[in-house]
Amino acid sequence: MASGNQQPWLRTVLVVDCQPYTTSTNNWRIIMLRRIATQHAGGTLMVFRHNGDDGVEFLGSGFLCHRKGAVLTSAHNLNPMDKIAVTPGQPINEFSRRTLDRVHSIEMQISQFDPVNDVALLRPKQADLPCNVPSNIFGNTEDLPVGASVAYIGFPYASKGLHTTKISQSIICGKSLSESGTRQLHIDANVHEGNSGGPVIDVSSGQIVGIVSGRFSPTGSGGSIMIGDFALGTESTISFVSTISYGIALMKAEGLDV
């Protein structure tokens, strides 16, 4: 995949509209998932690194978190030595190209980095990139009950050429502390390679409550038998989400109003 210069049209694509809403209809969940897809997909971005020779390599997902163009993603997507860039996905409700030959890149730099809690904050390298990101985009993770419906958006298998934005639904099936003490939500879903860094959204409020971090691997995170790039024994339908409070902490450290 090759990168191109930033185009003016990007400024109109990067829009997140996240007004809290309620409904009393029986099919509220379906209606809200459609609304979440429309509202949040435009702000969900592909994160990649430049590999020299104008080529790029997909790293994971990320999402706009501030009107100045700041982006939250997973720290494990990044190596501080990489030249990082992002690009918005194609319109989610259109039949778009499955694989992009070129992407319009926005150069980013890592501004805040919290590998212990697996979150990182990116800022545009050249200048702020004005975006429509409302101030009430984040929900309260601490009070979110187990059983709550959530949606997550990202770019699963984008490293294999699947460059379309995906939304999936799940529920919060548990909460735990990681080995390093990070507060994590569990969702009953099999998140895929490329989902890391994508937003997890509370279906009832439409607000972001977490960042996809990985999935439970019965064989651990160490070595396993590989077939090509696929690690055997790492599949499960329990996945982990870092609570959004860690992302908010990075934004505050960066001096962004939250």
CA 30 distance to own-chain centroid: 21
**97: buried, middle or exposed (CB in 10 Å: 19+, 13-18, 0-12)?**
exposed
Nearer to other proteins, 20 or 233 (CB): 233
Token readout for 242 is 């870092």
Contact 230, 217 (CB under 8 A): no
Span of 24-32, 144-152, 167-175, 231-239 interacting with other proteins by CB under 8 A:
231-239
Alpha carbons 164 and 136: distance in angstroms, whole number: 27
Q: Does 202 contact other proteins by CB under 8 A?
A: no
| Interacting residue with other proteins among 20, 23, 102, 116 (CB under 8 A) | 116
Q: Does 178 contact other proteins by CB under 8 A?
A: yes
Nearer to other proteins, 74 or 204 (CB): 74
E strands present in 30-118: 44-50, 56-64, 71-73, 84-88, 102-104, 106-114
Alpha carbons 213 and 222: distance in angstroms, whole number: 16
Q: Does 112 contact other proteins by CB under 8 A?
A: yes
| Interacting residue with other proteins among 36, 213, 247, 256 (CB under 8 A) | 213
Which residue type is seen at 253?
A
Q: Does 199 contact other proteins by CB under 8 A?
A: no
Q: Does 31 contact other proteins by CB under 8 A?
A: no
Q: Which phi and psi (to 5°) does residue 99 adopt?
A: -125, 130
Q: Does 197 contact other proteins by CB under 8 A?
A: yes
Contact 138, 258 (CB under 8 A): yes
Span of 19-27, 118-126, 140-148, 201-209 interacting with other proteins by CB under 8 A:
118-126
Nearer to other proteins, 164 or 195 (CB): 195
- The closest alpha carbon to 37, from 139, 191, 166, belongs to 166
Q: Does 66 contact other proteins by CB under 8 A?
A: no
- The closest alpha carbon to 203, from 245, 246, 147, belongs to 147
| Interacting residue with other proteins among 114, 149, 171, 258 (CB under 8 A) | 114
| Interacting residue with other proteins among 60, 69, 139, 210 (CB under 8 A) | 60
Q: Does 127 contact other proteins by CB under 8 A?
A: no
Q: x-or-dash pattern for other proteins, window 131-170, by CB under 8 A? A: ----------------------------x-----------
Q: Does 193 contact other proteins by CB under 8 A?
A: yes
- Token pair 């890149």 is found at 105
Token readout for 26 is 């029986």
Cα first-last separation, the chain: 35
* Total number of residues that touch other proteins (CB under 8 A): 58
Residues near other proteins, by CB under 8 A: 48-49, 57-60, 74-83, 109-118, 123, 125, 159, 178-180, 191-197, 212-218, 220-221, 229, 231, 234, 239-240, 246, 249-250, 253-254
